[in-house]
Amino acid sequence: MPKLTNDWIFTAHCPSLIGTVDVVTRFMADSGNYIDEIHSFDDRVSGQFFIRIEFHPQDETFTETGFNEAFAERAKPFGMTWSLTPPGYRAKVAILVSKFDHCLNDLLYRHRTGQLQIDIPVIISNHPDLKPLAEWHGIPYYHLPITPDTKPQQEAEILKLIDKYNADLVVLARYMQVLSPDMCNALDGKAINIHHSLLPGFKGAKPYHQAWEKGVKMVGATAHYVNNDLDEGPIITQGIQTVDHAHYAEDLVSKGQDIERITLFNAVRYHVEKRVFLNGKRTVVFSN
C-alpha cells in the first residue's frame, strides 16, 4: 500500500459541532501539511464526528511532537481526540489461537508477503498444536493451558504477555475460549474477534451443522471488537460465501473457514490502516 508508507494519517473524533472539519483542515493548511485524501462522517444519530486524513508535510521542520503540541490548543474547545500515524508505521499485533490454524495461517501469510504491514511479536494459545507454525516464522509462542480453575491466572498471564510485547492490537484468531468479563474489559476496543454469522443466525454449539439442517444457501463471518458482550461487540466488517445443496455440514465448516479468514484479514487491515472508529456499539469504517 504505497499511500500508507508515503503519507501520514491523521484521525480524530469528537461530538458533532459546527467547525469540526474546519478546525482540522485550517490547521493543516496553516502548518503546511498537504492533504491527499479526506473522509469525514458526522453521525446525526449518535451526534459524533469522525475524520481520517492522509497528508504529507511540506515543511521540513515537521515533527510529530510539534504537530501534536500545536494542534492540542485548537482541538481543546471541541473535545477532540486525535491520533497521528507516521508513514511506514507497523502495528504490533498479538495473536491468540486455539487449535484451528486457518486464521493464523492467513495472517502470517499476509504478514510475510507485505499485504499486512504489521509486526507479530507474540502468539499465545491454550494448546501446543500451532507451535511449529509460529517457530517456522520465528515468532515466540506461549502455550498457556486453561481449565475452569486456572482461567483467572491464565488470563492474567495473557495480559502480562500483551503488555510485555507492547501489543497495540490483540487478534482472537479462532481462540475458542469465552473470555471472562474482566478480560473483556481489559481488551475493550483493543481486540478483534472473528465468529461465524449465518443466515439466519444460529446460536449455540455446532452452528454450521444447525445451518445445514436449515438448508442455508450462504454462510458468513463477522469480525468485531471485543467488548463485554463477547460475540456481539461493535462490528467492523462481515463476509459471505454462497453454498448449495451439495455442501454437507462439514463442507459448510470448510467454506465458513475460508470466509472467516478473509473477513478477519480485512478487519485487521482496516484497523491498522486507521480506518475504523468506535461509535458507541457501532463503528465507522472508511474502507477503500
Residues in 233-252 at the binding interface with a second copy, rule: CB under 8 A: 234-238, 240, 242, 244-246, 248, 250-251
Residue 201 binds a second copy, judged by CB under 8 A: yes
59-66's contacts with Cβ under 8 Å and 24+ in sequence apart are 59/31, 59/32, 59/33, 62/31, 62/32, 62/33
Cβ(184)–Cβ(228) below 8 Å: yes
Residue 281 binds a second copy, judged by CB under 8 A: yes
Per CB under 8 A, which region of 84-92, 105-113, 142-150, 152-160 contacts a second copy? 105-113
Helices 20-30, 64-75: axis angle to 10 degrees equals 140
Residue 47 binds a second copy, judged by CB under 8 A: no
Considering the complex, what minimum distance in angstroms separates the CB of residue 182 from a second copy?
24
Which of these is catalytic: 36, 59, 229, 231? 231
Q: How far apart are CA 192 and CA 267, in angstroms?
A: 8
Residue 129 binds a second copy, judged by CB under 8 A: no
Distances (CA, A) of 107 to 86, 120, 170, 242: 23, 9, 13, 23
Residue 41 binds a second copy, judged by CB under 8 A: yes
Candidates 192, 216, 226, 259; binder of a second copy (CB under 8 A) is: 216
198 grid coordinates: 449465518
Residue 287 binds a second copy, judged by CB under 8 A: yes
Q: Is 282 helix (H, G, I), strand (E, B) or coil?
A: strand
Candidates 177, 180, 228, 254; binder of a second copy (CB under 8 A) is: 254
Helices 102-112, 249-272: axis angle to 10 degrees equals 40
Considering the complex, what minimum distance in angstroms separates the CB of residue 244 from a second copy?
6
Nearer of residues 40 and 180 to a second copy, judged by Cβ: 40
Measured torsion, CA atoms of residues 249, 205, 240, 120, in degrees rounded to the nearest 10: -110
Q: How far apart are CA 177 and CA 171, in angstroms?
A: 13
Residue 231 annotated in active site: yes
Residue 4 binds a second copy, judged by CB under 8 A: no
Give the closest residue to 47 by CA, choosing from 8, 20, 7. Answer: 20
Nearer of residues 29 and 72 to a second copy, judged by Cβ: 29
Considering the complex, what minimum distance in angstroms separates the CB of residue 131 from a second copy?
16
- CA end-to-end distance (rounded Å), the chain: 11
Considering the complex, what minimum distance in angstroms separates the CB of residue 247 from a second copy?
9
Per CB under 8 A, which region of 68-76, 145-153, 182-190, 199-207 contacts a second copy? 199-207
Residues 8-37 interacting with a second copy (rule: CB under 8 A)? 18-26, 28-30, 32-37
Q: How far apart are CA 106 and CA 123, in angstroms?
A: 14
Nearer of residues 106 and 155 to a second copy, judged by Cβ: 106
**Catalytic site positions:** 231
